[in-house]
Structure 1
Amino acid sequence: MADAMEMLQGVQGETTCSICRSYFSEPVTIRCGHSFCRACLSSTWRVEARAISCPECKKVSQVRELPAVNERLVHLTELGKQLHSQLLQSSQGQSQCARHKEIFKFFCEDDQTPLCVRCSQSPEHQTHRLSPIEEATHSFIENLQHIWNHWGKCFEKAEKDLAQKKPVVDWQWMITEEFNKAHCFLLEEESLCLEGIRQGQRASQDRISQHMRILQDLMLELQEAGKEPNLELLQDVKQLLRRSESVLSHWSKDVIPELREYRIPGMVEMLRQFRVDLTMDPVPASPWVVVSEDLKSVNAGEAWQVETKDPEYSACYAVLAKQAFSSGRQYWEVDVTQVPQWILGIYAPYLRRKRQRNVDFCASLFLLQCVKKEEVYYFQSDPGPLKLQMKGPVPRVGVYLEYSSGTLGFYNVLQSSLIYQFPSIPFAAPVTPIFSPGPPLPGTKAGPMTLSPVDSHLCVCCSSPL
């Protein structure tokens, strides 16, 4: 038996493919003398390779065609299989059931174990799928061969796909085209906005020029009236004074430009990826404001009475955020629907001395204030030159802070438009958001100024959060 096993091992070594480690299937022998299954050798030779090599000894050959099937090796492989089968049958006596000492005759498909005749008749295997050992072995070999052939085809397909210069779907081109379309669309929108700004500037200059002509005419009339006799002067003075008061009352409305809502598509959506979850300091900077228990809103106290119009002074009646920032990009939104007058901005305790665009950066507060007079809302910055008017309120304000570039911008969230952006601020220390819900209008009780949740959105049709 030992001699037979040694012979079988020798035959197996000569009839086994070194690639798949199984008996040869359509064996071919290349020039270096090594043999392989035809399919195995084909799968290892790349289509685009200029030279092919032996998978075993790596010897390069310039011949690309597969050799013919080695018939003598086919015959030797069949003899090896027969010898293996005979030895398996003769050695079955050594593979016995440990319980009944009988040769295994069946294979349980459910338990994946060999069984003798008596085991196969036991109650525990009555409902199981049983097959003769030879049949089960043959079935497993067929399954393995099927899997091998399937993966061989997959490998060949992968080789062909890899050899292609372009992918089946050119995602790089499609994504580039989408960004190009978005870029062209934004350029068109930018052009429209810039043209609107130029038209607004011309209209504003025309209004100022017209108002100056009216003032000049009125001044001439006043000078001429001063030369008239007393009686005639008394007859005309009431009309001149009435006209003067009317001209002066319209001065601010005519001269102060209107805040135009230049919509920037996608701006707010882009900024929202930098949203931070802010909370307010439970100990406010002033006793005139009251912070809510959840630290998300602040109200003006009942005793708050402010006579001054100075935004920086009004900011003393404010509350700071608990968070401070010294890097990165941050964005937060504040609901001011119930607050007719308010102040938003940041507190920067230390700055590098710098002066840009008529803005002195020695200040430590950078604020945007909304003031209501009659039915008109006025927006002004401190520091800075901003002074604009608007007929309606802004329900929600977005604030964007980029520390490294010193960017601080304020946005009308509902219209996705810019209200104001400070020039580059030379931050030198952590900065803290600041909120002031006032000054309150005389005789009114303002509601809270509220930090919007990071996952909330504003409904355009009703100006309410969703």
Structure 2
Amino acid sequence: MASADLSEKLICCVCLSTCEDPILLRCGHNFCRECVEDVLHTPEGSGSHTCPQCRDEISEGPALLKVRPLDEDYGTFCTDCTCSPLPAVISCLYCEASLCDNHLRVHSKSEEHVFTKLNLTCSTHKKTLTYYCTEDAACLCVTCSLSEEHRGHHVEPLAEASPKKEESLRNLRETLSKTQKASEERVESLKQYLRGAQEKAAAVTERVVALFKDTRRQLDILETKILKDITDQEEKATASVCDLIHELEIKIAQLSRDMKDVEDLCAVPEPLPVLQRWVRHSIEDIEVVHDEDRSDLDVGLISVTLHTALSDIITKVKRDFYVQQTPDIVLNLNTASNDLHITNDLKSASGSDFKQNRPKLPERFEYNQVLSTRSFPSGRHFLELETCLSGNWRLGMSYPSVARKGYHSLIGHSNKSWGLCRYLNQYFVIHDRRVVPVPHKPSSQRLGIFLDYEAGHIGFYELCDPITHLYTYTSRFQEALYLILSVYTGWVRIRN
């Protein structure tokens, strides 16, 4: 320990025990004051003196020899040591005492005795720091505590301030520990989310790659088949035409010979031979070759084959990604507010300046809202809608149990509906009265809602080029979902 190291340095070279009233010669060796003065005053020699240990000459006489206390070099000594003081290793703020290792072991350990490290000395007044100013958060000596700088401040002894500070630090440490634990849990949660997102992206990527690979394979097969059909039809048409050409060429040669015979008969002067030979070459003997037997390319058959095969491929693509074909969706007139105009085909809703005078029904909305007739209790579905270029409206999905009157009936004003809102040419999403601005300016009249019931996702998209993802809600659905529209100015139309 520090006191043991210093004790070894404080061994007197004359009496070989711990220095009493220790001093330090200029050569750096330690002695008891009494021992070194006895040595330096011995009448040996001519008045010069030497260090008893290293024999370095000390030119000045004993009266002029400068010595300095060891505490200038070795700090504070134990206040409880009576004969040979040892260096202090700690201070008791309650007793205002400095203690060595030996006296620390026997000192009182009760709560009021607060121990602290040494060097608590005021840099200005060179006095022990014994007070604490709570306003300036500074340790003070007695003189500092009475100075003008700290007059009127709350000053208390270090022995009282230290436990309070320790309690405050313990509370701070507990708060920091809780914050650290919460942050670590949050980091772990985010890492799990990141791993899940990466795994999900990898799985979807694998499915998409496999889907396109299979689609390309089917398209290659279809291309090969269609091209083979075209080639077969071409060969068939070519063969029939070539046969027809060959037959006609033979006929043309025969006709040339017949024409030569006719010319020869015309040159014969006797009538009898002409009449006899002409009978054998009457006009009825000439066969006319018609081209109705030729084959043509059946483009219609190719088109039907191609269309059917492509439709089958598209159906398989949809089936592989479990997006169900959404049947025709219409609006439920019995839920439509009297402030909402519904077109005859039950596809469009718009704000109305005139009351529609529909009958009072328990399912009818008080405000400008309407539900669809079709429910979505499971599966994946994609709904496409169209809106006007301007206007204020909301659209989304809702439970059928959503309120029909009051503030909570509005889309997104309860936990029973999820909505996309357009207001003052800005998109917002709203659910359970929590409004989130969407950082995308409206740029298309076409919008899409993607519902994955089992996964608990409701996604909103703007169907521009490219398609823009606006927002996706994640929840655990408790009821079947319905399309819900709310229009104040402008119009919204179902495109499905």
Q: TM-score, normalised on structure 2?
A: 0.32
Query: Higher relative contact order at CA 8 Å, sep ≥6: structure 1 or structure 2?
Result: 1
Q: TM-score, normalised on structure 1?
A: 0.33
